[in-house]
Amino acid sequence: MSILLAFAATVAPPLPLAPSQSTVQRHPTRPVSQTMTYDVELRSDAELLWSGQMRVSERMGATFSQQQQNAAPLNCMSPEIYGEVHERSVVSINLSPMSRFPATGALNVRVTWERPGSGAGCPARMGSRSVSITQILALQEGQQQTLTGDGGLTIRLRRR
């Protein structure tokens, strides 16, 4: 038994395997994707809806989305309305790279904004209003552009 234990103690552990060329995947014809950063500001007239940075590469777009839904105020409830009445606000921004993105910086910009209806009476009973902007845009470093939609919706993009 002591011979077996002495033999077991002298066996070296296996060496770690080094990655071989076949286990490392490389794409020599495909360069590393360039990332572009944009400062984004979304407004409705004077109200700031959202502001922040978004990064886009040739293989990946950027998306921001925010939603808020609330029950209607008590003064909006009435027995003649079937079901729950609510107010809803949604903001969505999508920046998608176009096929020639690395060379041109071209993006498909899509913005949607949904808000409670307005007018006399209870806003929750007025339904909702929505507006969207869809446009292709190409900005060079340091350039900025503002896109304008209906209802006072504007989006300003500046490429860093």
Give the residue, 88 or 38, on which the prediction is more confident: 38
For 6-22, the pLDDT digits (tens) are 555 566 666 665 555 54
Domain positions in the chain:
30-159
Q: Which residues pair with 56 in a beta bridge?
A: 36
pTM exceeds 0.75 for this model: no
**Range 32-44 average pLDDT:** 90
Give the residue, 20 or 91, on which the prediction is more confident: 91
* 3-state helix, strand and coil shares in percent for the chain, rounded to the nearest 5: 15, 50, 40
Query: What pLDDT, on the 0 to 100 scale, is given for residue 118?
Result: 74
Lowest mean pLDDT among 37-41, 81-85, 101-105: 81-85
The tally of CA atoms less than 13 A away on the side-chain side of residue 157 is 27
Residues in contact with 130: Cβ distance below 8 Å, sequence separation at least 6, in sequence order? 90, 112, 113, 114, 115
Q: Rounded to an integer, what distance in angstroms lies between the CA atom of residue 123 and that of residue 142?
A: 41
Q: In Å, what is the CA distance from 111 to each residue of 8, 56, 62, 63, 136?
A: 69, 16, 12, 10, 12
Query: What pLDDT, on the 0 to 100 scale, is given for residue 97?
Result: 93
Tell whether the model's pLDDT for residue 84 goes beyond 70: no
